[in-house]
A and B are shown apart, each in its own frame.
Chain A
Amino acid sequence: MNRRILLMVPFAGVLVAGAGFLAMLEREQEGTFDPRAVPSQIINKPVPPFDLPGSPGFSSTDLRGRPIVVNFFASWCIPCVEEAPVLMALKAQGVPIYGIAYKDKPDATAAFLARNGDPYERLARDEPGRVAIDWGVYGVPETYLIDPQGIVRWRHVGPLTQDAVTAGLQPLLRRYA
């Protein structure tokens, strides 16, 4: 009998591992599992202080009072084109999106927004990219959710997808609304 149980062990092991991989795939799809993501130091911390110019530009103190989505983007970034429709859909739902143009020339940014739609309630310029360093941005696009107290609650690296919005962003927007 013992031998029979012993011979079952490999099968049981594979069953457990398989269930684990399935869970990983599903959560990866939701955007809550990313083994390659570098952990963000900023989650559950207050927004690092900044004051950026733009049209009209905004500062860290403006990110208060309601949940706000902050999106780092650039006109030279191809994935930013990809996520544009998702951002426009968010805007249509009334979600406030603040944009930060990362290492970009103002007229290039304007041309980009004219082409792909302008989802931003307010737009700031971070031409030297210093604020992005404080946030821990390691590439555009990146998207953050700031709660009414100015605490960073969520971060998405790479182009925003509808799946990530549904599974990751929407529940948090409801929670902090």
Chain B
Amino acid sequence: MIPELGHFALALGVALGFAQAIIPLWGAHRRDIRLMQAAPALALGQFFAIAASFACLAWSNVVSDFSVLNVAENSNSLEPLVYKITGTWGNHEGSILFWCLILTLCGAAVAAFGGNLPSSLRARVIGVLGLAGVGFQLFCLLASDPFVRLWPPPVDGRDLNPLLQDPGLAMHPPILYTGYVGFAVPFAFAVAALLEGRIDAAWGRWVRPWTLAAWCFLTGGIALGSWWAYYELGWGGFWFWDPVENASLLPWLTGTALLHSALVVEKREALKVWTVLLAIGTFSFSLSGTFLVRSGILNSVHAFANDPARGVFILALLGLVIGGSLLLFALRAPMLSATGIFAPVSREGALVLNNILLCSITAVVTTGTMYPLFAELLLGEKLSVGAPFFNATVFPLAVPLFAAMSVGPVLSWKRADLGAALMKLWWAALVAAVVALVMATRARLLPDLAMAASAWLILGAFADIAERTRLFRIPLAASGRRLIGLSRSSFGTVIAHAGLGVTVAGIAAMSLASSSIVLLKPGQVAHVGGYDWQLADLHDVAGPNYMARAATIRVSRAGSLVTILAPERRNFPVQQITTTEAKISTNGLRDLYAVLGDERDGGAVLRLHVNPLAPWIWFGALIMAIGGAISLADRRLRVGAPTRKPVGAVAA
């Protein structure tokens, strides 16, 4: 009964989605206020329908209703409750439904918080969201129905993939999806602006908080995924330039560019066409990231589309959404004209440089990800593009980006004095140079530069604050008052930029990591990275739905015990999968990382790593996301959005 209700709610959502796509857009076109006013109610209705549908699926998982094919294939009665719930989005059908849920949530959020939008813009934004949403809900309903019944029901389910039975990965998809799908809102604003034929500062101000929110989630989602790869896969690395990882990095790069260019639209009414293109491009990358990965073209691990019809359906949808919006862009963008002009050296100029560098990195990563596919398609050549290519192309582009990042925020709008701006940062530059010199003996050129860049970013951010509060030049109390008076968005900028510095430090320090694969018998000791690792014993552990073999490793330094690590190798009998549970001990400045491998001749193969500053990678991402959230809390973004000038004034 419950699954049928879910199926019905999904169908209802599709019906409401069609209404949401057609009625407000038609109303905005005909300037019919009644039709436009229907938009918020339709968006909320669609959200409730899809939410009810998702709740039904989640319920079927929680009560282990194995007569539902999806539950039987991806759940098991022995699973802990939390994984029964998170398993709802841990498979193809459930994750597509979840994706649709977040998209309708975006529509509902625009309906709920968009009260101060002009009614035609709001109607068009909600209509475009409905148009995009209905396609994917149709996909869900027709090609990947999560409510298909199975008769007779099996006694027990096939269990969730053990790799996904992990708290980090349980939260990774919701956060990542919220980030991906959140970019649908700037996309809808961009398409609505193309339909309206105009963009002004108010548009920039409405778009920015949505972009910022999506960006925060995407940052968190990517970081969580990379953290999971670090501790769960047990390979000792954090980023592998895997196509799926690249697919999530691309919208992050363009989304970051969008965040900055929307600022120029808001403050200076320039870069309009570019910003619209970025908004469309970011969501296009998000869509490709979610669905191209699943069409089976890119990667087998995430590919669920064993049925080729699904792949074609997805491709057709992507073509309609991305191609349609870009065609509209090609036809309508010439109508958008810039009004603000600026000198090359100015805040706008720095933001343009940011956009150029971020988009160059995007282009490089896209090329590296797609080239092997097209080379095989067109030339029939097998080749693989891996970390060496990306490291050699991305980092040289990133270094000037980092260099400019600290300078940009201290430049003034319109026209700036570069010399004076650099003078404000002299002490940050000095420390960065010292770091570069000190590290030059220990690290290769790129990690050395990255270390210096990290110091430059973190200190540059503080220099910016020091400058704005006139620290040490006026009494401290006065500086304090200035600090409190600073806008939250300036704080957000500073914190996010410093956060990137922290991440860069963590990444650069990874090049100094030491690791070793050793075969130890109980009682024997290995020396790795300045620590003594003693294998104390090997024993069995029983888990709720797995059996594990665990090693006890006593790690000591200069005779005193530092920590005891107990890495495990878990065997999940239902899925016949063995996972490694790496164990990590961190003190914030370095990770001690141990993985248990196969056992041989009474001993065990252990992989031992000492990773300096590793936690900083994710800590920095968290700081970035917090910076974004603080900026989002800026009063100016929430209230008192500028009202629009009459149409005639902008129609230039």
User: Which A residues are closer than 8 A to B by beta carbons?
Assistant: 3-4, 7-8, 10-11, 14-15, 17-18, 20-25, 27-29, 33, 35-36, 39
Contact = CB atoms under 8 A, between A and B. Distances in A.
A17 B311 CA distance: 15
A22 B374 CA distance: 12
A174 to B, nearest CB: 22
Given A7-B273, A39-B382, A24 B377 contact: yes
Given A4-B334, A10-B281, A28-B296, 11 more contacts: A7-B329, A10-B329, A11-B326, A14-B322, A14-B326, A18-B319, A18-B322, A21-B315, A23-B377, A25-B296, A25-B315
A14 B319 CA distance: 8
A33 B308 contact: no
Contact of B330 (A10, A24, A28): A10
B112 interface: no
28 contacts: A7-B273, A7-B333, A11-B326, A14-B284, A17-B370, A18-B318, A18-B319, A18-B322, A20-B374, A20-B377, A21-B295, A21-B297, A23-B377, A24-B377, A25-B295, A25-B297, A25-B311, A25-B312, A25-B315, A27-B377, A28-B297, A28-B308, A29-B308, A35-B297, A35-B373, A35-B376, A36-B299, A39-B382
B258 to A, nearest CB: 15
A21 B322 CA distance: 14
A21 B319 CA distance: 10
Contacts of A22: 312, 315
B308 A25 contact: yes
A54 B334 CA distance: 75
B295 to A, nearest CB: 7
A141 to B, nearest CB: 17
**10 shortest A-B CB distances, which residue pairs?**
A11-B326, A39-B382, A29-B308, A8-B330, A11-B330, A25-B311, A7-B333, A10-B326, A18-B319, A7-B330
Contacts of B292: 21
B327 interface: yes
Interface in B292-337: 292, 295-300, 308, 311-312, 315, 318-319, 322-323, 326-327, 329-330, 333-334
Nearest to B305: A25
A24 B323 contact: no
B45 interface: no
Contacts of A11: 323, 326-327, 329-330
Interface residues of B, number: 33
B621 to A, nearest CB: 30
B277 A10 contact: yes
A167 B311 CA distance: 19
B323 A15 contact: yes
Nearest to A19: B319
A21 B312 CA distance: 9
Contacts of B377: 20, 23-24, 27, 33
A4 B334 CA distance: 7
Contacts of A21: 292, 295, 297, 315
B311 to A, nearest CB: 5
Contacts of A14: 284, 319, 322-323, 326
Contact of A3 (B277, B312, B334): B334
Nearest to B298: A35
Given A23-B377, A24-B373, A35-B297, A18 B334 contact: no
Contacts, number: 68
A167 to B, nearest CB: 12
Contacts of B370: 17
Majority DSSP secondary structure for residues of B touching A = helix
Contacts of B300: 36
Contacts of B597: none
Nearest to B318: A18
Nearest to A13: B326
Contacts of B297: 21, 24-25, 28, 35
Contacts of A33: 376-377
A24 B284 CA distance: 19
Interface in B261-310: 273, 277, 280-281, 284, 292, 295-300, 308
A37 to B, nearest CB: 8
B372 interface: yes
Nearest to B280: A10
Contacts of B322: 14, 18
Contacts of A18: 315, 318-319, 322-323
Interface in B485-504: none
A79 B6 CA distance: 34
Nearest to A15: B323
Nearest to A1: B334
A21 B294 CA distance: 13
B365 to A, nearest CB: 15
A24 B312 CA distance: 10
Nearest to B308: A29
Interface in B356-378: 370, 372-374, 376-377
Interface in B537-590: none
Contacts of B308: 25, 28-29
Contacts of B277: 10
A22 B296 CA distance: 12
Nearest to A40: B382
Given A18-B323, A25-B295, A25-B312, A7 B334 contact: yes
B126 to A, nearest CB: 25
A101 to B, nearest CB: 22
A44 to B, nearest CB: 13
Nearest to B299: A36
Contacts of A25: 295-297, 308, 311-312, 315
A29 B308 CA distance: 7
A18 B296 CA distance: 15
A139 to B, nearest CB: 13
Question: Of A8, A11, A21, A27, which is in contact with the most chain B CB atoms at under 10 Å from its CB?
Answer: A21
A32 B326 CA distance: 32
A14 B315 CA distance: 12
Interface in B565-620: none
A35 B300 CA distance: 10
A15 B320 CA distance: 10
Contacts of A4: 330, 334
Nearest to B310: A25
B292 to A, nearest CB: 7
Contacts of B382: 39
Nearest to A27: B377
A7 B373 CA distance: 27
A39 B376 CA distance: 11
Contacts of B319: 14, 18
A23 B308 CA distance: 12
A4 B330 CA distance: 7
Contacts of A8: 330
Contacts of B372: 35
A18 B311 CA distance: 12
Contacts of A10: 277, 280-281, 326, 329-330
A14 B296 CA distance: 19
A79 to B, nearest CB: 12
Contacts of B323: 11, 14-15, 18
Contacts of A35: 297-298, 372-373, 376
Contacts of B326: 10-11, 14
